[in-house]
Structure 1
Amino acid sequence: MVSPESFFHVALKVPDVDAAVAFYRNHLEGDLLEHEQPAEDATGAENVEHAALTVGDKRVYVFDRAPYEAAGLVDELPYGFLHFGYVVPDVEAAAADLEDHVRLVMEPTVFGDLKVAFFEGPAGERLELLESLD
């Protein structure tokens, strides 16, 4: 059984990151933590515009496309909900515990200072398990 340390974020794919940021700031009192544009020479997972906000006591990430989508690790995803993110102490161990019970969408992979893995829950919802490597 996997015991997440915390619920960390929800991630959304949106057609207009600026419009999503404005909505969450203006209508839900979201606090903008970061808003990054990809560098001109960015490729793969780095070629993504994203913003992070705190809404209430949780983070909301909005992307023009998911980093794992931009890296070619999954097929193109529709706009809307991308995944829930849960912090675990060991992504490899958590993935091993879950592999016989849910469908693995993406093997444990390192993105910057995180190791992440993605699964589908029983209704097809995507779950991200993330471990800080720093």
Structure 2
Amino acid sequence: MSDWATMFVPRVAWSEKSDRGRNRVALGGRPGKGKEETLEESDVLVVEEAYRLAKEYEATCTGCAQSVVAGLLDAMGIQEEGVFKAASGLADGIGLTGDGSCGALTGGCMVLGLLFGRERKDHRDMMKPMR
């Protein structure tokens, strides 16, 4: 797998400084494409730190899903061993098969679910919006 972090992050968010000094982010990967949002500078720093940590973890510890989970959680200061442990089976396309969903993508989705997902009490309501 060639530099997964470089392949994954640019497709998720592209940013540039807006006229007011904030970062504009286009979800979808390219300027003018996708939904644009404004991020505070502190949010941009968290994203950059998560990217740096995840890339470092992948290079030294391996396991793309766990590296992304650890990078995101560490950058946000969240202690959550359960999500990190659950990501161990998602490495290299799930179960070290080399064929399947990208571990970096699934690890990132796990953290999104942790932060914004439905709670157990809402399990029956598939259409319940995320927080």
TM-score (norm 1): 0.31
TM-score (norm 2): 0.32
- Identify the structure with bigger relative contact order (alpha carbons < 8 Å, sequence gap 6+): 1
Bigger radius of gyration, 1 or 2? 2
The structure richer in strand per residue is: 1
